[in-house]
Chains A and B, each alone.
Chain A
Amino acid sequence: MGRYSIGFIAQRLGIFLLTIWIAASVIWLIPRLAPGDPISAMIMRMSSSGGRVENADKIIAGWKERFGLNDPLPVQYVRYMGNLLRFDFGYSLAHFPTPVADIIGLALPWTLGLLLVAVTLAFFIGNFLGAIMVWGRTPGLIRAVIPMFMIFTSIPSILAAIFLIYVFAFLLEWFPLAGSYPLGMKVELSWRFISAVIWHATLPALSVVLVNFGYWTLGMRGMMITVEGEDYIQLARAKGLKPFYVLYRYLVRNAILPQITAFAITLGSLVSGQVLVEYIFGYQGMGNIIFAAITSQDFPVIQGASFMLIVITALAVLIMDLTYPLIDPRISYERN
């Protein structure tokens, strides 16, 4: 633990809390900048999309009282922040008595599982390809083919998802069209269920991996070029070490470390991309509940789900920041 100082941990924690506070404030503030109040706006949208809403005035007055929208703004703000701290996002409007937190609780594990698998795969595949792109012993053909895969990097995961569904689920029927496990199947810890989950998750995970591995490949390639020029690589070669040993012991180990910090910067867009993929695949995660909530004008769910994803992203960045000095001994956060 010698590498940490109180100041470093406090600073990282501060950034984490500040991120969440700013995101929460923006989510709270913007609806209130718009003319009218959130409830009237919602009722108006409901009536414009689904015909007349009976007793709209009474509903608006009732909800306003219920949500305390008649109180002064600072009071509302403090109460809102207090509720967020307890993960109390209110009740879903579309499935009324269900608390938003329950809906999120059901979807979140699916999203986290898929995200973890997809990001890990993308990271390892990407870095592996980046490393062998620079390694002198890689056959020329492979080195020429890898850049072609870079094309995928530029395409948003949502477009890749649509394409994959069409080819592998609709035309070839190798994979299911939607969902995260067969309808009606009992959720249990059996091989049958787990294999069904993997089978359903393959295409969604593949869309995230295809689109993201190239980012790591490019970064790894740049780092590998830098490390290759170092004197200790020359020495390792001169010593007559096996080329593959030099690759993974000397080159990759030194080049991969800055890649881990790059995680922090890309995580936000990764999460956004995956939410869209889940929606396209009808995968039971956050993307699906957000889309369902948008369709049914269920604002508390949209707000709660988005806020939860922001918290998780910030938390992941915090964890990465705190573990990085343990992984890379060259970095020390002690006060100098």
Chain B
Amino acid sequence: MGSTLDTSGLATPRAAGLPRRMGRFNRWDTPWLNPKLLAGVALLLVILLSGLLGRFFWDTDLAFSGKAPLNLPPVGFVNTRGQAGTWEHPLGTENSGRDMLALMIVGAPNSFLVGVVAAGVGMTVGVILGFSAGFIGGRVDDVIRLLSDVTVTIPSLMVLIVIQSLMRQVDLTTMALLIAVFAWPTPTRLIRAQVLSMRASGYVHMARLSGASTWAIMFREILPNLTPYIFASFIGNATGAILAAVGLETLGLGPQRVPTLGGTIYFAINAAALLRNMWWWWGLPTLMLALIFIGLLLINLGFDEIANPRLRRSSQ
């Protein structure tokens, strides 16, 4: 994870019988292994894997309408018509015969896909623009800063609503790419600010004095130090992208042919699932999304601790 954080060469003092306080130099004591980060990653992995592996154990065709009995509650509950849940559909079914378990298995990874694609594209553009602005400066910096200042204030959901309401069929990737159009300003601003401050720092001067080329300074000196920021902005972007996707889907503007978590909420709200007390219909996708967002938040807090040592100390 970047040469600057590698402390393995210092792992020996403890073995040499130094006091326990020196445990700080233990190789497992890097800030990259803080509990928040680990918990967040674990939570997201569990959701993602149960989505990906679930396909081998559960028939995902059931996620489409008309494949199962209607309005069944989850196992152990009874719906308003007195029907009890069955193990054939352990999480229940909804209004048009979609199996909730299959919906979750297909829907959760779809949310991840949107997040990763949109955040990946947005962040790549952001890193390139941020580096250019911070390093080249001058006119380039002015233009990039102006564009990111302008884009960051536009409520992107509004523009996306206009676009998606005109497009007849959107697939997941198209939606992710459209969301990515608005995902670059935040990483651009962040990277630019960091590059500006690092450019003036001692080790960059040192590298410049020893004759390193601009490219070497950018990629071998500065970029590794930006790793926590880049990761953090990736997670922030993914959160924003999934949020935008959920917003569009719950408004009925998401992909029509692929089951999504937001789309499930849209159908539930439209069919007044709240008033019919079919809590599993809106509750399960809501819970799933909430868990995804909590996982992302934990990862983000974890990266904060890596990038900002002051938080690390004060949290002890």
Contact = CB atoms under 8 A, between A and B. Distances in A.
Count chain B CB atoms within 10 A of each CB in A34, A268, A275, A309 and give the residue with the most.
Answer: A268
Contacts of A15: 146, 149-150
A310 B158 contact: yes
Contact of B152 (A30, A268, A302): A268
A22 interface: yes
Interface in B251-307: 251-253, 265, 269, 274-275, 277, 279, 282-283, 286, 289-290, 293-294, 296-297
A322 to B, nearest CB: 14
Contact of A27 (B159, B247, B275, B311): B159
Contacts of B253: 294
Interface string A281-302: 0000000001101110101001
Contact of B155 (A48, A151, A153, A309): A309
Interface residues of B, number: 47
A27 B293 CA distance: 30
Secondary structure call for the B interface: helix
Contact of B286 (A26, A27, A31, A163): A163
Q: Which of A26, A293, A307 has the most CB of B within 10 A?
A: A26
Contacts of A295: 252
A290 B166 contact: no
B168 interface: yes
20 contacts: A15-B150, A22-B151, A30-B162, A30-B163, A30-B166, A41-B168, A162-B286, A163-B286, A166-B279, A166-B282, A177-B274, A269-B240, A271-B158, A280-B269, A290-B161, A297-B165, A302-B162, A306-B162, A310-B159, A317-B153
Q: 7 nearest interchain CB pairs?
A: A154-B297, A272-B157, A306-B158, A268-B155, A154-B293, A271-B155, A19-B150
Interface of A: 15, 18-19, 22-23, 26-27, 30-31, 34, 38, 41-42, 44-45, 48, 150-151, 153-156, 158-159, 162-163, 165-166, 170, 177, 222, 225, 264-265, 267-269, 271-272, 275-276, 279-280, 290-291, 293-295, 297, 299, 302-303, 306-307, 309-310, 313-314, 317
Interface of B: 146, 149-159, 161-163, 165-168, 239-240, 243-244, 246-247, 250-253, 265, 269, 274-275, 277, 279, 282-283, 286, 289-290, 293-294, 296-297, 310-311, 314
